[in-house]
Homo-oligomer: A and B are copies of this chain.
Amino acid sequence: MLEYTTENLTADEVARLRAVYEPLTQSVRELIDATIRTEVDAESVSEAKAAIDAATARLRSNQLDGSFGIRFGSDGDQMPWGNAVIGLRNPTAPPLKVEQAPDGSVFADFYLGAAYEGPPGHVHGGVAALILDHVLGEAASSAEKPRLTGTITMRYLRTTPLGPLRVEARIDRIEGYKTYAVGHIADADGHTVEAEGVFIQPRWARG
């Protein structure tokens, strides 16, 4: 059984926390990109590293024992702020902002830069899989009924260029505890990767 932390945070308090942490996370995202692309000399790298280590020590002076987990506001809103794909406190997340279309399908427009590279100038195939796993899972889930991936298959049509991209997913059909979802990633020229998966309502979440 996975533990979800419930806190009685008001909407105002959630907004305040977001305003504190979101700019920090965005700054670290910029630093990640700069770390990969920099060509400054060894002395500059060393001085930047010292400043970063000092910032890390300050942030670590009071920190959670483990990972962020998922917290809830008092209105029941989820705060998956450490999540590897959508977490607003996770600098490794692009992050995706997954939206729901009127027909129940979900989508996100997002940008992948140097940190997501596999083949030169192109998205790592595994990063495409990371994003499709998440977004098909969101299509298959609802706030009351979380679903986890059972199996998922990715089909790579061509390499995906780094840059602006879109992901879309929808439920294909539901059979008991199994929800079948399909989706794709696309660039301006069309689909680059397609996916289909079976998502399962965990036993502990069955009402």
**Residues of A at under 8 Å CB distance from B?**
2-5, 20-21, 23-25, 27-28, 30-32, 34-40, 42, 44-45, 47-49, 51-56, 58-64, 66-70, 81-85, 87, 89-92, 113-122, 124-127, 129-134, 137, 148-156, 159, 162
Contacts and interface: CB of A to CB of B under 8 A. Distances in A.
Contact of A114 (B24, B36, B67, B122): B67
B27 A40 contact: no
Contacts of A45: 20-21, 24, 59
B36 A60 contact: no
Contacts of A154: 129, 133, 149, 151-153
B36 A55 contact: no
A48 B58 contact: yes
Given A117-B82, A130-B124, A27 B39 contact: no
Closest 3 CB pairs of A and B: A126-B133, A126-B130, A129-B129
Contact of A152 (B39, B81, B153): B153
22 contacts: A2-B120, A2-B121, A24-B48, A28-B32, A28-B52, A30-B56, A31-B55, A36-B91, A38-B59, A39-B63, A44-B61, A51-B54, A51-B55, A67-B162, A69-B120, A82-B114, A82-B117, A84-B115, A84-B116, A92-B115, A149-B156, A151-B153
